[in-house]
Every structure is written in structure tokens, then in C-alpha cells.
Structure 1
Amino acid sequence: MHTAARPEGARPGAVGYGPNLQAFAVYLMVVHFIPVHRCVELLASLTGAVPSVGFVHGVLTRAAGVLTEVDKRIHTLAYAVCCDETPLRVGPRTPNQAERDLRPAKVQQNISGRLTIEKRTKDRYRIRGSLSTAGKHGRNMIEALREAIRGHPWMPPDPTPA
């Protein structure tokens, strides 16, 4: 019997999924609002790997934890660079990207029929905010997730003086 080396970012244990599958799971749930059971089914259909619902929830929690410092930096930079005085309107269509980034919770609620526990909702916002910011800086969201799962999250650069 031959055993392959465990990929970087795979957790120890009897079954260890690498950073690609972990990133796909988080991406499907956070960016495309796929409920956890459907996410597991989709991963099984596309990859042959059958992670548990608990694994998917766990990787979501771990990804949010790794992105804590990124989230703090984004909030600091947003406050220091610009303050949008537009009133917050989550429901109406809006050209304001910051307001559009708040819509995922409502979409998630419409798709799954409910929002999950408050901590999981905060985790989704933290991940979504980090991915949205990375995307605005020209980064690929899946690659940004992979790097975060590997323990090397992308950090927004310092603003350039105008």
C-alpha cells in the first residue's frame, strides 16, 4: 500500500481534506449561499470526497478565525480612508458596493429559509468581507481562501496617498 503525503493545509487525522476542498466548501457556502447539506452533496458529486456536515461547519469556523486580523484591518482602513454617509439600505437595489456586500445574509435566509446561529452568521460576514475586499484588489477569491486555510491570509495593502 502506498500513502501520499498529506497536502499543506490538511488537518491531521484519519481523513484529511486539503486546502482546495476546504476552500471550495467555504466558497460555496459564503459566496454562493449553498446550504451546508447541499454543499456536501455538491462536493461529493464533483470530487468524490464526502465530507461531513460537521467538517464543513468546522472549516467555515476555522476560515473565519484565520481572517480575524484581516477583518480588523479592513474595518480600520475603511474608517481611515473614507466614511460613506449614505444611509444603510440592505433591501433596495443599490450601486453602493458596501451596501451590496451586506445582502448575503438576506439571500442566505431566502434560500435556506432561516439564518443559522449568530456566531456562524458573523463568521460568514467576516469571510465574505475579506473575500469581497480581496476581489476588489484583483485577487481570485478561491485562491485567497486557499491561502487563508494554509495560514497565510491576504492582507489589504496600506492606502496610497492621493
Structure 2
Amino acid sequence: MRTSRSPANLRLMGFDVDGVLTDGSLYFTPNGEEIKVFSSLDGHGLKMLQGAGIEVIIISGRASRALELRAANLGIAELHMGIEDKRACMDALLARRGLQRAQAGYMGDDVVDLPVLGICGFAATPADGHHFVRAHVDYVARHNGGRGAVREVCEHILASQGRLDALLAAYLD
């Protein structure tokens, strides 16, 4: 495992899709339409990040209409699909915003995510992320991809920034 770094200074958090926002299963209808299953818990975690002023982006190696719809539903404007070089995509996004790599985080589950995970100031993976990825990130979630791992990481980020308790307390009012 790399030297663990805190997400306390993050201003942007990126997520992979298959194996992170979903359980990694690929479902196809007989006519070739792809179906993805997303967790509402994860979705609310992403909304909490956005509400705290942390920009949420998605960088995925695959393109799908289901992902387009989910990103729109969550208000995620920066959706990048069919991306082979996720690191270059992240660097371009950071340059446009005037952000440093240390101000960005990424959550991925497979070895193809390591180049972008390695440049970010905070890197995370689900509990069922590939063993080599788990050895090279700052945070390994207790939950699996598509099953609450994203929510857990969102809450970890918010807690490290001292914002989680107030965000949760607002639901008691």
C-alpha cells in the first residue's frame, strides 16, 4: 500500500463506473442494450460531495446510455466515456480548472485505473477491487463496488474535511 494520504484538501473527486459505481456485471438485452445497476446509497453520497462543494466527475473506459442517464440524474456534468487514457483525461480536467493533482481524488477498481490513481492526491478502491490495486491506494472500502463503496468513500472524504457530522445532522432537523 502506498503511503496513505488524507482527502482533506480535495476539490474534485473522480469515479470509475464498472466495478465502482456498479458491481462490474455487464447485462445486455437480446437487442444489445446495456443495463447497469446503480446503488441509491452511492448516488446520495455523490450528491453529498457535490453539496459540500467537491466537484464529482466520472471517467469510464466504457460508454453506455445507462451511464449517461445516471450522470444526468445526479447532476454530474463532467462525464467522460470511452476513455483509454484516464490519467490524461484527469490532467486535462485539472488544467482547465487550475487545480493541482493533490487536490484531486479517484476511485477505481482494476489495474487499468492505476495510472490515474497514482497521480491523484487521494486514491480509493472498493473492497473487491483487484488485489494489486488494493495494494496501491490510500483507502480500501469495506463495501464492494456497486454496494455502498462509493458512499463509504464519500463519507470518508467529508469526515476528513470536518463536514460529515453537520451534513448528517441536517437530516435530523
If the length of structure 1 is used for normalisation, what is the TM-score? 0.29
Larger Rg: 1
If the length of structure 2 is used for normalisation, what is the TM-score? 0.28
**Higher strand residue share:** 2
